[in-house]
Amino acid sequence: MTSPAQLALDANILVLLVAGLTDESIIPRHKRLKKYDPEDFNLLMRILLRYKTLIVTPGVLAECSDLLRYDRASKDRTCTTLHRMLTDSDALLEIYHPTKEAALMRESTWLGLVDAGLLKIVDDGIPLITDDFALFAQACRRNNECINFDATRLN
């Protein structure tokens, strides 16, 4: 079976990825990653390695950048890793849909604009990995290849 070429990441998954790539010891100390440990990062890496391209949106990148700053001890290092992922490699592909399109979606009222924007990516045929069950439920209705990371890590 061939693997899908692309996988979209939500902000929490991207934060876990960036923190783990920077230094796995950051994960249990980071305020926004308390439910994860380095083994979860390793599981995430095994999943992500199945895909050729990781997709993000401008909203996901903005949320991730903000969330990385929650941990004062590691924020400079993790933000540098995110910057390198965006500028020095082809690690991430940014796809943009106008925010107005997301705002017109009924799901934006309960998921928010960033997550509704991710649903636009899913509508493009790109599966999503997320730890947000409400987002996963909506994404899975559109593409059954979407991944609920929390369910995966608990199995």
pLDDT, tens only, 40-60: 999 999 999 999 999 999 999
Element (DSSP H or E) covering residue 8: strand 6-9
Residue 3 pLDDT exceeds 70: no
Report the pLDDT value the prediction gives residue 4, as an integer from 0 to 100: 66
| Residue whose C-alpha is closest to residue 128's, from 1, 40, 6 | 6
pTM over 0.85: yes
Residue 37: how many CB atoms within 10 A of its CB? 14
pLDDT, tens only, 52-101: 999 999 999 999 999 999 888 899 999 999 999 999 878 899 999 999 99
Q: Which structural domains are found in the chain, ordered by start?
A: 6-154 (3.40.50.1010)
